[in-house]
Amino acid sequence: MYVSMKEMLWHACANKYAVMAINCTDMEQARAICYAAAAECAPVIIDISPRQMKAHATPEVMVPMIRAIAEPLDVPVALNLDHGGEYKDIVRCIKAGFSSVMVDASSYDFEENVRRVSQIVALAHAHGVSVEAELGHVGQAAAGDGRSADMYTNVEQAREFVERTGCDCLAVAIGTAHGAYPDDFVPHLDFDRLAELKEALKMPLVLHGGSGAGEENIRRVVELGINKINVCTDLFKHQRKAMHDKLNEQPSIDYMDIQMHGEQAATEYIRAYMRMIGSSNRYQFDFTGEDFD
């Protein structure tokens, strides 16, 4: 099923689990994401960022391909613009058929963030597209971001922000950062702040920078109310290592075969992650009674 994020994230919110949101750049990754979801009976979100759009993942090509893979499945699959900062990129994705968009105006001041998100919410909702926003700021791990409470989401501001914008889910800053952390570094997360945000907002919350955050941290944030976890760096590293190792093992391997090997490695990684965050076996359609008329 090809759907927006809204319903699946509210289901996750009500049932206290998280949905994996995975960055995707090609058909093999799209297949791995969707078929892992089907195998695990789990909802899933495919993320495509503006940078990935410019490099490989052209919206007008990716949307029909992903829809063709997702629509026959008995699990919900959403396609989301990740970190949409430019109005033209967001409009392009809505027109191309994305089912959800993120408008990231978190680097602006509070009022400008509200203005930009409200504008996109009005446009997206009119087309049946759900909207993710961010308050606080999730920076880059390589720059040492995520370690200062100055960037964290303020609870009272978050309450006002959601009321004024009407966004469908909110990405919060509690100590994670995008990209790869330095070796052996595991971020310290503000669990108390997350619990306060969940209590105040009572809505689906999003964790960006899930890669490298550590399994213990990930399990804990799900317990406290995170319902969408963005994963990019860890999956790409896992897939790259698997393909590199296979090439070393079989230097003459066919190009198609190495692609298939990478797809299988990605599928296995995604399935394990889904089990960790509690999204497996959330969508099992096993009707044992009489057929519907």
Where are the domains positioned within the chain? 5-277
pLDDT digits (tens, 9 = 90+) for 12-24: 999 999 999 999 9
Output the pLDDT for position 175.
84
Q: Average of pLDDT values for 181-191?
A: 69
**Residue 9 is encoded by which pair of tokens?**
């994230």
Q: Which of 211, 226, 219 is nearest to 172 (CA)?
A: 226
Please state, as a whole number, how many other Cβ atoms lie within 10 Å of the Cβ of residue 234: 16
- The CATH number for 5-277, chosen from 3.20.20.70, 1.10.1060.10, 3.30.360.10, 3.30.930.10, is 3.20.20.70
Distances (CA, A) of 85 to 132, 133, 148, 218, 247: 12, 11, 23, 27, 38
pTM: 0.89
**Residue 184: CB atoms within 10 Å:** 5
Tell me the pLDDT band of 144, cut-offs 50, 70 and 90. Answer: very low
Predicted local distance difference test score (pLDDT) of residue 177:
73
Greater pLDDT, 239 or 273: 273
pLDDT tier, 290 (very low <50, low <70, confident <90, very high otherwise): very low
Residue 284: pLDDT band with limits 50, 70, 90 = confident
Tens digit of pLDDT for each residue in 85-133?
999 999 999 999 999 999 999 989 999 999 999 999 999 999 999 999 9
- Calpha distance 120→87 (Å, rounded): 8
- Sign for the CA dihedral angle at 273, 232, 124, 95 comes to negative
DSSP code of 2? B
For residue 59, give the nearest of 72, 50, 68 by alpha carbon.
50
What is the structure's pLDDT at 123? 97
Kindly report which listed range (60-64, 154-158, 178-182) carries the lowest average pLDDT score: 178-182
Cα gap 9→198, rounded to integer Å: 14
Q: Which helix (H) or strand (E) holds 97?
A: none
Which tens digits make up the pLDDT trace of 21-52?
999 999 999 999 999 999 999 999 999 999 98
Q: What percent of the chain has pLDDT over 70?
A: 88
Distance CA 23, CA 91 (A): 20
Active-site residues, by number, are: 82
